[in-house]
């Protein structure tokens, strides 16, 4: 499955089903750039067990505000549309895999 870039308009439909890891990021954020290849690698290993969605906080301020995003990267885990977990800052692939594993 490929990583999806969500917007304010389609965010709810993207997180509505299954386990979803959402990366709130911005193009100017150094740690966000560091975590991008980690997310790509994780996405390749997850297959259909979970999906990864990215939300650019500069372009989608409504969604970022709704979830109280104050620092980036912030990663939220949703299960069937409900937020079930959260972590802030750079995370290793193993840390992110463990975070998702709790909810799959």
Question: Which segments of the chain are extended strands (E)?
Answer: 4-6, 19-25, 51-56, 74-79, 82-88
The side-by-side arrangement of strands in the sheet containing 51-56 is 4-6, 51-56, 19-25, 74-79, 82-88
Let me know if 32 is a catalytic residue.
Answer: yes
Which one is catalytic: 3, 4, 29, 84?
A: 29
Let me know if 38 is a catalytic residue.
Answer: no
Do the strands 51-56 and 4-6 form a parallel or antiparallel pair, or are they unpaired?
parallel
CB 59 within 8 A of CB 26: no
Which one is catalytic: 6, 15, 21, 32?
A: 32
Residue positions counted in the chain:
104
Q: Which residues belong to the active site?
A: 29, 32
């Amino acid at each position: 499955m490929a990583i999806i870039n969500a917007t304010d308009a389609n965010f709810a439909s993207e997180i509505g089903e299954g386990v979803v890891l959402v990366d709130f990021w911005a193009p100017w954020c150094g740690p966000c750039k560091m975590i991008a290849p980690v997310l790509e690698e994780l996405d390749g290993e997850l297959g259909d067990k979970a999906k990864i969605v990215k939300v650019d906080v500069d372009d989608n301020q409504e969604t970022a505000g709704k979830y109280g995003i104050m620092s980036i990267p912030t990663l939220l885990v949703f299960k069937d549309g409900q937020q079930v977990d959260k972590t802030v800052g750079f995370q290793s692939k193993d840390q992110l895999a463990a975070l998702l594993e709790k909810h799959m």
